[in-house]
Chains A and B, each alone.
Chain A
């Protein structure tokens, strides 16, 4: 599994990219994370997580959509790749499987 391992923060970022679909770029991801988890990642931490995800092949990126408040800089939009979707599923299955094995926890 080495090389495909995901850290907790990376996992959250990957999920957010998936949730945002077409709209996933740096600031949007940051805002969405804040909204859902209540924590505001630093732009540096976020960027490095995104870079790592990209290197692992879970997301890809394209540059487009320059706006006035970005001084004409384009946004880097991220999108989940097939292997990204796959790894999320694997994690989900694994966790569900494991949680089930804990006694005294009922899962509906």
Chain B
């Protein structure tokens, strides 16, 4: 055992510096001196002198020679590779253009989509400890077979979580401020919509940061928190000091200001009222309900808690508490947990969600589409390179003779393809700069170039370019460097034949793969377009055009008949109705009793109307009659239901349901029943997005709770009609903003994200097909040029032009047919799964596939045919002479 050693780093450094010839002897000398000094002067001095000695040895006579030769060599080779690449690229302009074109398009698409995806995945990253934070949602299953995903849960959940479960750190509720609030600041009036009533815990969980003021359990209920930007909008740039705001009916103080919610937050809140305020105006019994589902509930678990264990306990608890009660209303629910960071991308099937939701599926679709373009571009590169192997055979052979080994040649071709991908990458960066503006507009994001220039992005970008270059370079490199240099230089038959046979078949396969991918893309994008077309044009069961919804304010509602008259006094106003329940907007969920059928309640949606509703909406009666003034008792005793309700209530036909007794627990007092009969059955109409099935609807008249006025206007000159409506509105509400909404545009909003997806998808499809076609064009033109001699000889021997063309084309036609046979079933399966998202969907039939097949064949005929005709029309004498 050695007690002590000289400093290791010095020894190692010396070894790296010293010429191997001297190393051993000198190291030995150094050690020997060290040992001796260790004895005589101690460790520290020994070490010190060791270092000194070592330093004195740092001289040229001891040092390793600098390996200058080897480095220059490598560099020179790469210089040569680079030059060869540029020259070859310049010589074969068509080839280079096709490759760069395809790669650039593919890369640009991938860059944009990656940006989009990165942004979507980064939602709610500002929330700390997100892995312990969840939103609760219910899957509600009705007796009528309805299944709904609801992010809103009963008010009793949160208090129970806080008091009964030790695993829960805290839990808090939000409820939306439905319809928004109108704030009066001095003379100015602001109508704001993005607000909630919230408990402090909910704000804690969501990491909403207060800049000023406070928000606590025991605060004054009539107060409000404003976002920084809303505060500035209201008061300008002044310090916070308990400013007061006026609402229509009350005054409230600003309790604080919170930091604006980040863009990438699933909630976008501008103002927050204390939950207490909402609680005060609600019956205490109702706030303990296990039935009423209306509250967004967040929960933070203790870090050590197992989420699944907790959830199963909570489910048992909820089942105990709620099932008996909800069963009476004809449904039950099961709670689930959703991680806060999953809310944005995994909520697309939720109803009544206020979260900004993206669709994970759409992102996946787009990413795959962009990937396919890059793949097609790479296949182009591979195909064209291998097709031209013969041209470079001489170069490769000379290199081999001079002494290049296989590895070096492989490196050369890998390098060459990497040059292509890098160039394409740079061009696509230019496109990125040019297109970022339109892209932002389209996606409603706000990417800034500067923010994107991070080291991480750069590394990923160049890393993937290198990878792409190597991936698309290795196969051509293998092919190009395979053959026997003697035979290739000789140019004789042996070389020619062997190259041909090896190269051809995989190339066919790759062209096939391109076809399969393109056909798949076209089919799917066509199916998507058809589906959206269907959604837009499908019969909604009422006429959604030219319907304007105006919120019914107190002033408008005081004397509804005179209001109706005031608004009707224009020749383009066809009908006016007052209601609660607008298709595309909010429709209440409730239930009714049919005492003659069963004891339990039937759950259904409920629309409160006046006499004009059914006629204004242009709904059709299937049986019985609508509401009419001729029967004086309609407001008290009449119910109208839709066809689905007829089925769910268990009647065999609409006529059967007529005259059935209906009881309804009124909203003002749940002990009093409104008793009446079904007087009519209205046709089914869609009041939610077509993702959802139509459910039971009960329509009746009820004196209070009317919230909206719906006006049907004529198609002529809608702008002046709108102006008229506004003038009328001003007479009642001089300060309140006039905010009409078109029913058809609310429906459009349901499909907005899907429309965008479909547009993007179509764009990518076109790009992909363009890339594939142009690649095929290059390939065919090369193959026909290389068969020029064969064609000429055939011609000399008597083959007609038509026969030659057929000979050249037939192979590609077979290829197309083969690819279609593979692509169609795949596309069918994929599209079918996607369509299952919609309750109302098209069927995929031959109507989609036949046009695609025909189009592909025509496209191929055009691409190949042009070249084939050119090739077979040429004068054989000239071709053969040129040898």
Which residues of A does B touch, CB under 8 Å? 25-27, 42-45, 47-48, 51-52, 61, 63, 66-67, 69-71, 73-76
- Do A47 and B26 touch across chains, with their CB atoms under 8 A apart? yes
A57–B57 alpha-carbon span in the complex (Å): 22
- Do B33 and A63 touch across chains, with their CB atoms under 8 A apart? no
Please tell me if B670 contacts chain A, counting CB pairs below 8 Å.
no
Q: For residue A52, which residues in chain B have a CB less than 8 angstroms away from its CB?
A: 61
Q: For residue B31, which residues in chain A have a CB less than 8 angstroms away from its CB?
A: 69-71, 73
- Do B25 and A69 touch across chains, with their CB atoms under 8 A apart? no
- Do B57 and A71 touch across chains, with their CB atoms under 8 A apart? no
The 10 closest A-B pairs by CB, nearest first: A44-B56, A73-B28, A76-B25, A70-B28, A26-B29, A69-B35, A42-B56, A44-B57, A43-B53, A51-B61
Chain A min CB distance to B65 (Å): 14
Q: For residue B655, which residues in chain A have a CB less than 8 angstroms away from its CB?
A: none
Please tell me if B12 contacts chain A, counting CB pairs below 8 Å.
no
- Do B57 and A74 touch across chains, with their CB atoms under 8 A apart? no
Known A69-B31, A69-B32, A70-B31: A63·B24 in contact at CB below 8 Å: yes
Q: Which of A42, A45, A67, A75 contacts B25 (CB 8 A)?
A: A75
Q: Which of B25, B33, B61, B62 contacts A73 (CB 8 A)?
A: B25
- Do A71 and B26 touch across chains, with their CB atoms under 8 A apart? no
Chain B min CB distance to A36 (Å): 19
Q: Which partner residue on chain B sits nearest A69 by CB separation? A: B35
Q: Which of B25, B33, B53, B62 contacts A74 (CB 8 A)?
A: B25
Interface code B36-70, partner A: CB below 8 Å = 1, 0 otherwise?
10000000000000001101111101100000000
Mark out the residues of chain B between 4 and 32 whose CB falls within 8 Å of any chain A CB in the assembled complex.
22, 24-32
Chain B min CB distance to A46 (Å): 9
Interface residues on B, range: 20 to 34
Q: For residue B22, which residues in chain A have a CB less than 8 angstroms away from its CB?
A: 47, 51
A42–B32 alpha-carbon span in the complex (Å): 14
10 A-B pairs in the complex with CB atoms less than 8 angstroms apart = A26-B26, A42-B52, A42-B53, A42-B56, A44-B55, A47-B22, A47-B26, A51-B22, A70-B32, A73-B25
- Do B28 and A74 touch across chains, with their CB atoms under 8 A apart? yes
Interface of B is mostly: helix
Q: Which partner residue on chain A sits nearest B34 by CB separation? A: A69
Chain A min CB distance to B856 (Å): 76
A52–B62 alpha-carbon span in the complex (Å): 11
Count: A-B pairs, CB below 8 Å? 70
- Do B32 and A27 touch across chains, with their CB atoms under 8 A apart? yes
Mark out the residues of chain B between 67 and 89 whose CB falls within 8 Å of any chain A CB in the assembled complex.
none
Q: Which partner residue on chain B sits nearest A68 by CB separation? A: B35
Q: For residue A66, which residues in chain B have a CB less than 8 angstroms away from its CB?
A: 28
Q: For residue B56, which residues in chain A have a CB less than 8 angstroms away from its CB?
A: 42-45
Q: Which of B25, B55, B59 contacts A26 (CB 8 A)?
A: B25
Mark out the residues of chain B between 355 and 413 whose CB falls within 8 Å of any chain A CB in the assembled complex.
none
Contacts A52-B61, A69-B32 known; 14 new A-B pairs at CB < 8 A: A26-B26, A27-B32, A43-B26, A43-B29, A43-B53, A44-B55, A47-B57, A63-B24, A67-B32, A70-B29, A71-B31, A73-B25, A75-B29, A76-B25
- Do B53 and A44 touch across chains, with their CB atoms under 8 A apart? yes
Known A42-B53, A43-B33, A69-B35: A48·B28 in contact at CB below 8 Å: no
Q: Which partner residue on chain A sits nearest B29 by CB separation? A: A26
Q: Which of B33, B52, B59 contacts A27 (CB 8 A)?
A: B33
A52–B35 alpha-carbon span in the complex (Å): 28
Q: Which of A42, A45, A47, A75 contacts B28 (CB 8 A)?
A: A75
Q: For residue A71, which residues in chain B have a CB less than 8 angstroms away from its CB?
A: 27-28, 31
Q: For residue A70, which residues in chain B have a CB less than 8 angstroms away from its CB?
A: 27-29, 31-32
Q: For residue B36, which residues in chain A have a CB less than 8 angstroms away from its CB?
A: 69
Q: Which partner residue on chain A sits nearest B39 by CB separation? A: A69
Q: For residue A63, which residues in chain B have a CB less than 8 angstroms away from its CB?
A: 24-25
Q: Which partner residue on chain A sits nearest B33 by CB separation? A: A27
Q: Which partner residue on chain A sits nearest B24 by CB separation? A: A73
Q: Which partner residue on chain A sits nearest B50 by CB separation? A: A43
A73–B29 alpha-carbon span in the complex (Å): 8
Q: Which of A27, A51, A61 contacts B29 (CB 8 A)?
A: A27
Chain A min CB distance to B776 (Å): 69
Q: For residue B25, which residues in chain A have a CB less than 8 angstroms away from its CB?
A: 25-26, 61, 63, 73-76
- Do B62 and A47 touch across chains, with their CB atoms under 8 A apart? yes
A67–B33 alpha-carbon span in the complex (Å): 13
Q: Which partner residue on chain A sits nearest B52 by CB separation? A: A42
Chain A min CB distance to B845 (Å): 85
- Among A61, A66, A75, max chain B CB count under 10 A is at A75
A47–B58 alpha-carbon span in the complex (Å): 11
A51–B32 alpha-carbon span in the complex (Å): 20
Q: For residue A61, which residues in chain B have a CB less than 8 angstroms away from its CB?
A: 25
Q: For residue A76, which residues in chain B have a CB less than 8 angstroms away from its CB?
A: 24-25, 28
Q: Which partner residue on chain B sits nearest A74 by CB separation? A: B24
Mark out the residues of chain B between 168 and 190 whose CB falls within 8 Å of any chain A CB in the assembled complex.
none
A105–B84 alpha-carbon span in the complex (Å): 81
Q: Which partner residue on chain A sits nearest B58 by CB separation? A: A44
- Among A26, A44, A61, A75, max chain B CB count under 10 A is at A44
A45–B31 alpha-carbon span in the complex (Å): 17
Q: For residue B58, which residues in chain A have a CB less than 8 angstroms away from its CB?
A: 44
Q: Which partner residue on chain B sits nearest A41 by CB separation? A: B56
A42–B567 alpha-carbon span in the complex (Å): 110
- Among A48, A71, A75, max chain B CB count under 10 A is at A71
Chain B min CB distance to A7 (Å): 14
Chain A min CB distance to B436 (Å): 62
Q: For residue A27, which residues in chain B have a CB less than 8 angstroms away from its CB?
A: 29, 32-33
Q: Which partner residue on chain B sits nearest A65 by CB separation? A: B28
Chain A min CB distance to B34 (Å): 9
- Do A73 and B53 touch across chains, with their CB atoms under 8 A apart? no
Chain B min CB distance to A57 (Å): 16
Q: Which partner residue on chain B sits nearest A49 by CB separation? A: B61
Q: Which partner residue on chain A sits nearest B62 by CB separation? A: A47
A69–B30 alpha-carbon span in the complex (Å): 10
Q: For residue B29, which residues in chain A have a CB less than 8 angstroms away from its CB?
A: 25-27, 43, 70, 75
Q: For residue B53, which residues in chain A have a CB less than 8 angstroms away from its CB?
A: 42-44
A67–B53 alpha-carbon span in the complex (Å): 20
Q: For residue A42, which residues in chain B have a CB less than 8 angstroms away from its CB?
A: 52-53, 56
Q: Which of A43, A45, A67, A74 contacts B30 (CB 8 A)?
A: A43
Chain A min CB distance to B11 (Å): 10
A74–B52 alpha-carbon span in the complex (Å): 22
- Do A44 and B33 touch across chains, with their CB atoms under 8 A apart? no
A75–B22 alpha-carbon span in the complex (Å): 11
- Among B26, B28, B36, B58, max chain A CB count under 10 A is at B28
- Among A61, A70, A76, max chain B CB count under 10 A is at A70
A101–B59 alpha-carbon span in the complex (Å): 41
Q: For residue B55, which residues in chain A have a CB less than 8 angstroms away from its CB?
A: 44
Known A73-B25, A74-B25: A43·B57 in contact at CB below 8 Å: yes
Q: For residue B62, which residues in chain A have a CB less than 8 angstroms away from its CB?
A: 44, 47-48, 51
